[in-house]
Amino acid sequence: MSRLSTQRILGGLAQRFIHGPRGGGKPVPEAALDREYASGNWDHFFGDRELPRYQALAGLIRAHTVQPPRVLDIGCGSGRLPSLFVSNEIADYLGMDLSNEGLRRAKKLGIPKARFVHGDFETWRPVETWDIIVLNEVIGYAHDPGAVVASFLPFLATDGVLIVSLYRWGNHAAIWKCIGRRALAKKHIEVHGSLGVTWDIKLLAKVTS
């Protein structure tokens, strides 16, 4: 067995038995994400299977105190979420993603008031505040999900909320526990899709002393 293979096996075991149970996520390289988008593997985001989750997210955004809100979408992928809104429903939208291929597809949609930037949510931070910050099915890719959530909370405007959606699979309970130590859950909804799929969506705010 090669040294690289051994390292991969040991890394997988550490993720499963040590890092994962503590609420840690599993980062994915940028090149792997680009391949997934280029292959069409994630085209289903625009299909009926994922629609309940996106409708729930859009509903929460439309129900926010500030209307129309300014929305920062961390891990925006190919732009499915902003495609659900008409131009007067969002005051400003910024989508950030690690995959250039995903961003290329998002830009091709020609969504009004939508801007897209390349970045890694482990290190990238905005330069302004936002009414709503969304982490839609991406927090599981963070090495430390709680730390990533906490790092974006200071960029919420007054009465702003951070929305996290997480597929109920694997170590999702441990990830939520990790996040709960860094942010206050103001609302929790369950979204059920086909074939028994469930997503947990939570509105998070800064923990106040």
pLDDT in tens, 136-155: 999 999 999 999 999 999 99
CATH of the domain at 88: 3.40.50.150
Using one digit for the tens of pLDDT, what is the confidence trace for 28-85?
999 999 999 999 999 999 999 999 999 999 999 999 999 999 999 999 999 999 999 9
| Domain range enclosing 111 | 3-205
Distance CA 202, CA 114 (A): 24
Give this prediction's pTM: 0.90
Q: pLDDT class for 207, splitting at 50, 70, 90? A: confident
Using one digit for the tens of pLDDT, what is the confidence trace for 77-102?
999 999 999 989 999 999 999 999 99
Mean pLDDT of 12-22: 48
Positive or negative, the Cα torsion across 105, 108, 111, 114? positive
Residue 162: which residues within 8 A CB-CB, separation 6 or more?
A: 132, 133, 134, 135, 149, 152, 153, 156, 183, 203, 204, 205
Distance CA 20, CA 175 (A): 8
Number of structural domains, the chain? 1
Give the pLDDT of residue 61: 98
